């Protein structure tokens, strides 16, 4: 459905996207994950034909986006990070306008009704877009992307800035849409990608760092062992931490050591990664015996997708140092609310005249069982 071949984009000297290739099959939900500045939006914008590529090719449903943009774009519904809404229009006016703009041939009334029902915006169709909450504006943005029933949906950070219940709503809507559409979704929020996507591409500094299901990505990268060891040094001071870190690093097969926070007074946990072929546990034990250090805890851990993401995006310490955008992405981790409190988002009325209108309607309604 989507075929990307050797795609690159330069901004002056900067390569925002550097020779990436991937394809997305019919009915697949692909998550495009990466820290801020990784090149996600640039890729999305090229996929949708919004900006041109410096080199490479994009085929949407077999149609080249640069050679035949109108036909290729007719296959795409796009929700940019900031939804393209005309806030002085009503929801209904806007959707009808988009229907005309897309030269949609489907039966207008039934099609718009179907989309509004799906996006749960039927009850706000007469409202001015400017008076809707951010979550509802996002749903209207999604609704416009669905007009003309495009087989491909491209959604750029669709839950950014939404509150937890709005996030749940939009995520479950995307999942539903994934049943009938090919979806490419970008996000810097890992739990979001895990909750919604069948497959994940991790992009970092303009290149693809990993591609596969969460399990496949983990499998590929678990040729390393990861463990956490709590070691008690001899002085119970910060100098222990440095000495132990250096000594662990000198063990054959250990690739990475990081002293975590102080767990007990003067005692630290050390996160260690080693080559799979070499079991370093005995060497660590021998080292501690020789140095007269005590191992107070030893825990082997599998690499989670989160570990992998951290490693890919911050593992290269020298590169990350010069790129603040990467560290902000990690700070952007958010709690997975998927299992938290649910409940549909309630549209709040911000405009006082609308509040009055609603009250009037309610009081004139004599029917019982109002829900
Ligand atoms: P993401 O969406 O992953 O946060 P972007 O695709 O927006 O990343 O940006 C990738 C890189 O390209 C960043 O370093 C960004 O500063 C740069 N960039 C994006 N758009 C432009 C532009 N119009 N001009 C110059 N540099 C840009």
CA of 196 to the centre of ligand 1 (A): 25
Q: What is the pLDDT of residue 187?
A: 85
CA of 331 to the centre of ligand 1 (A): 19
Within 6 A (CB) of ligand 1 lie 11, 14, 16, 34, 36-42
Q: Whose CA is nearest to atom 27 of ligand 1?
A: 11
CA of 15 to the centre of ligand 1 (A): 9
Residue of 37, 46, 156, 205 to test ligand 1 pocket, by largest number of atoms within 8 Å of CB: 37
Q: Helix 164-177 to helix 134-146 angle, to the nearest 10 degrees?
A: 10
Q: Whose CA is nearest to atom 10 of ligand 1?
A: 39
Q: Whose CA is nearest to atom 15 of ligand 1?
A: 37
Q: What is the pLDDT of residue 330?
A: 26
Distance CA 143, CA 50 (A): 19
Closest C-alpha to 205, from 5, 20, 3? 20
**Given the CA of residue 203, which atom of ligand 1 is nearest to it?**
3
CA of 11 to the centre of ligand 1 (A): 8
Q: What is the pLDDT of residue 5?
A: 96
CA of 276 to the centre of ligand 1 (A): 37
CA of 190 to the centre of ligand 1 (A): 20
Q: Whose CA is nearest to atom 16 of ligand 1?
A: 37
Closest C-alpha to 147, from 186, 114, 120? 114
**Per residue of the chain (371 residues), what is the pLDDT tens digit?**
899 999 999 999 999 999 999 999 988 999 998 888 889 889 999 999 989 999 999 999 999 999 999 999 999 999 998 888 999 999 999 999 999 999 999 999 999 999 999 999 999 999 999 999 988 999 999 999 999 999 999 999 888 878 888 888 888 889 989 988 999 999 888 778 888 898 999 898 899 988 988 777 766 655 457 788 999 999 888 889 999 999 999 999 999 999 987 878 889 999 998 887 788 999 999 999 999 999 999 887 766 666 677 777 765 322 222 233 333 222 222 222 222 233 334 443 333 333 334 344 434 443 333 33
Name the DSSP letter for residue 147: T
Q: Whose CA is nearest to atom 26 of ligand 1?
A: 11
Contact 57, 82 (CB under 8 A): no
CA of 305 to the centre of ligand 1 (A): 25
Q: Whose CA is nearest to atom 21 of ligand 1?
A: 11
Distance CA 47, CA 118 (A): 25
Beta carbons within 10 angstroms of residue 260's beta carbon: 12
Q: What is the pLDDT of residue 224?
A: 55
List b or e across 196-205, with b for residues whose CB sees 16 or more CB atoms inside 10 angstroms. bbebbbbbbb
Q: Whose CA is nearest to atom 17 of ligand 1?
A: 16
Contact 40, 22 (CB under 8 A): no
What is the full DSSP assignment across 98-109? HHHHTT--S-HH
């Amino acid at each position: 459905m989507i075929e990307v071949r050797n795609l690159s984009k330069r901004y002056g000297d900067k390569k925002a996207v550097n020779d990436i290739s991937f394809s997305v099959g019919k009915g697949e939900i692909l998550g495009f994950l990466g820290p801020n500045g990784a090149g996600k939006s640039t890729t999305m914008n090229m996929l949708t034909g919004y900006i041109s590529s410096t080199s490479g090719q994009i085929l949407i449903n077999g149609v080249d986006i640069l050679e035949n943009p109108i036909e290729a774009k007719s296959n795409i519904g796009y929700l940019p990070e900031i939804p393209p809404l005309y806030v002085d229009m009503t929801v209904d006016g806007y959707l009808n306008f988009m229907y005309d703009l897309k030269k949609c041939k489907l039966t207008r009334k039934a099609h718009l009704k179907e989309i509004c029902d799906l996006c749960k915006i039927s009850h706000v169709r007469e409202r001015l877009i400017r008076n809707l909450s951010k979550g509802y504006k996002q749903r209207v943005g999604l609704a416009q992307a669905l007009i003309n029933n495009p087989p491909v949906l491209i959604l750029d950070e669709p839950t950014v800035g939404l509150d937890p219940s709005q996030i749940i709503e939009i995520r479950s809507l995307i999942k539903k849409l994934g049943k009938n559409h090919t979806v490419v979704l970008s996000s810097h929020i890992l739990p979001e990608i895990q909750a919604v996507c069948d497959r994940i591409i991790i992009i970092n500094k303009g290149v693809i760092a990993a591609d596969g299901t969460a399990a496949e990505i983990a499998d590929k990268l678990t040729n390393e062992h990861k463990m956490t060891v709590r070691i008690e040094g001899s002085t119970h001071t910060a100098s222990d931490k440095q000495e132990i870190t250096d000594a662990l690093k000198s063990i054959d097969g250990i690739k990475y050591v990081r002293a975590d926070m102080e767990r007990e007074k003067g005692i630290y946990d050390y996160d260690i990664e080693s080559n799979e072929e070499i079991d370093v546990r005995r060497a660590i034990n021998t080292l501690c015996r020789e140095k007269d250090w005590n191992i107070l805890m030893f825990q082997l851990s599998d690499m989670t997708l989160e570990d992998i993401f951290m490693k890919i995006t911050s593992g290269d310490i020298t590169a990350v140092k010069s790129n603040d955008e990467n560290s902000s992405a990690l700070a952007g981790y958010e709690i997975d609310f998927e299992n938290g409190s649910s409940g549909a988002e309630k549209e709040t009325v911000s405009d006082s005249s609308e509040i009055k209108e609603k009250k009037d309607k309610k009081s004139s309604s004599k029917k019982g069982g109002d829900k």
